[in-house]
Copies of this chain bind each other. A is one copy, B any other.
Amino acid sequence: MENTIDFLKNYGLSITESRKKILSLFTQTKGALAHADIERNASVNFDRVTIYRTLQTFVDKGIIHTIPTADNSVLYALCKDTCKEGHHHDNHVHFICDSCDTTYCLDNVTIPAVVLPEGFIAKQSDVVISGICKNCEVIKE
């Protein structure tokens, strides 16, 4: 509880119910969250618009980042400390489990360098891998 408040203050954000609730939802969750996940959550009964704006504020401040997915839904996950305001460093691989549908940020897996054709200059790389996650693999055995 105290942590959430200090955390928000450090980012220069005023302390509001929606920000506290949504932030702690992220810290309590292993995987990434969609807007709909948050809206569905009983403890977070705010207006859709408020949730959108809170998420956008967090993205702007470098608290969370968006994840591109194959089925074109937007997912959000907590950033690492290296993310600064307006300057994301989410150079990690995202993993989507086909079985439980959880999205993971694999922070320790760096994106391999890709050799582009002559004339192409890379600035940002997004890698999304889908398959079976650690948890589901164990269950299936």
Contacts and interface: CB of A to CB of B under 8 A. Distances in A.
Given A69-B68, A72-B72, A72-B74, A121 B131 contact: yes
B114 A127 contact: yes
The 10 A-B residue pairs whose C-beta atoms are closest, nearest first, are: A119-B134, A123-B131, A112-B112, A122-B131, A121-B132, A126-B128, A121-B131, A124-B130, A125-B129, A122-B129
Given A72-B68, A114-B109, A114-B112, A138 B125 contact: no
A60 to B, nearest CB: 16
Chain A, interface size category, equals 35 or more
A1 interface: no
A118 interface: yes
Contacts of A117: 106, 108-109, 134
A69 B133 CA distance: 23
